[in-house]
């Protein structure tokens, strides 16, 4: 009996060891599970970030910024066109947070927030850092090396990533699809949103960036005739006239993403613009 008990005990101890060791094995054996855990952790990190965002409040109490409570977050509308010329983020509502707690909400922070909210792999799709031109985009919508980027705030070329954004701003960014001649041309509709009835005709006017003046300030002009309107990703028969204007109508009720393509036009390479149309 004693022998059996001893054997049993040995087994138990061995089993306990194995069990202890076993607790660690899944981590190495199932990397997928580990990755998932990592992802969950990454996904959860915004919460502590948000808490960090709120820490400026004690700072305010300390008297560093005695004037008022800084605006710690605001809602802006972000559009992003990827390296294939696809409108991957059509004027989405994005809550920008003061990630570095400097009391300013910047274009950089808006891009971080936009990628966290809209990019498939979250904030991995975006990176910025110091360059000879100041804070610069390194990665936009997952595109990095050998790529160039451009962004406009409320239809105007932005000064830099540290420019501040305020509630209701429209931030449009794109990756240059043309990596040799950089022909990608920014353009925008005169209306960012529209509310229309089913089948009701309404007119949009398209303006494009048309080079630079002698001070390197962007010059804008009416878009070309023959630019086709794209509704919810489908190219339609609506085309711009010689004034860059186009009258369209949408029969289906609901929210629609109206954009445009210059694919049919030789020598014109417009970056897709956005107007979000609600049809009632």
List residues binding Ca ion (CB under 5 A): 98, 100, 102, 104
Cβ-based nearer residue to Ca ion, 70 or 122:
70
Both tokens of 189, joined, read: 């509709």
What do you get for the CA distance between the two ends of the chain, in Å? 85
Cβ-based nearer residue to Ca ion, 97 or 192:
97
- In whole angstroms, the minimum distance from the beta carbon of 63 to Ca ion comes to 20
Cβ-based nearer residue to Ca ion, 83 or 106:
106
Cβ-based nearer residue to Ca ion, 42 or 52:
52
- In whole angstroms, the minimum distance from the beta carbon of 99 to Ca ion comes to 6
- In whole angstroms, the minimum distance from the beta carbon of 101 to Ca ion comes to 7
- In whole angstroms, the minimum distance from the beta carbon of 54 to Ca ion comes to 14
**Helices 2-29 & 31-44 angle (0-180, nearest 10):** 60
**Helices 46-54 & 31-44 angle (0-180, nearest 10):** 20
- In whole angstroms, the minimum distance from the beta carbon of 102 to Ca ion comes to 4
Cβ-based nearer residue to Ca ion, 103 or 272:
103
Q: How would DSSP label each residue in 61-127?
A: HHTSS-S-----EEEEEEEEE-TTS-EEEEEEEEEEE-TT-SS--BHHHHHHHHHHHHSTTGGGG-E
């Amino acid at each position: 009996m004693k022998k059996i008990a001893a054997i049993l005990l040995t087994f138990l101890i061995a089993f306990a060891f194995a069990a202890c060791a076993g607790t660690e094995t899944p981590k190495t054996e199932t990397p997928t599970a580990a990755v998932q855990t990592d992802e969950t952790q990454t996904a959860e990190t915004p919460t502590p970030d948000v808490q960090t965002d709120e820490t400026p409040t004690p700072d305010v109490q300390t008297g560093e910024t005695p004037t008022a409570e800084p605006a710690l977050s605001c809602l802006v509308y972000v559009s992003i066109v990827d390296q294939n010329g696809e409108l991957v983020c059509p004027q989405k509502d994005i809550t920008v947070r003061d990630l570095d707690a400097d009391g300013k909400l910047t274009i950089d922070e808006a891009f971080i927030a936009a990628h966290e909210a809209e990019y498939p792999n979250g904030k991995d799709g975006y990176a910025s850092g110091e360059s000879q031109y100041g804070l610069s985009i390194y990665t936009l919508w997952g595109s990095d090396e050998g790529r160039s980027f451009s962004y406009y705030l409320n239809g105007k070329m932005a000064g830099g990533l540290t420019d501040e954004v305020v509630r209701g701003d429209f931030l449009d960014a794109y990756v240059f699809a043309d990596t040799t001649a950089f022909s990608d041309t920014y353009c925008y509709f005169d209306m960012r949103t529209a509310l229309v009835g089913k089948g009701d005709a309404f007119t949009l006017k398209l303006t494009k960036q048309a080079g630079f003046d002698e001070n390197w300030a962007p010059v804008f002009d009416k878009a070309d005739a023959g630019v086709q309107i794209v509704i919810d990703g489908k190219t339609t028969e609506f085309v711009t006239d010689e004034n860059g204007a186009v009258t369209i109508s949408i029969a289906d009720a609901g929210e629609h993403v109206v954009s445009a393509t210059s694919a049919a036009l030789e020598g014109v390479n417009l970056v897709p613009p956005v107007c979000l149309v609600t049809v009632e």
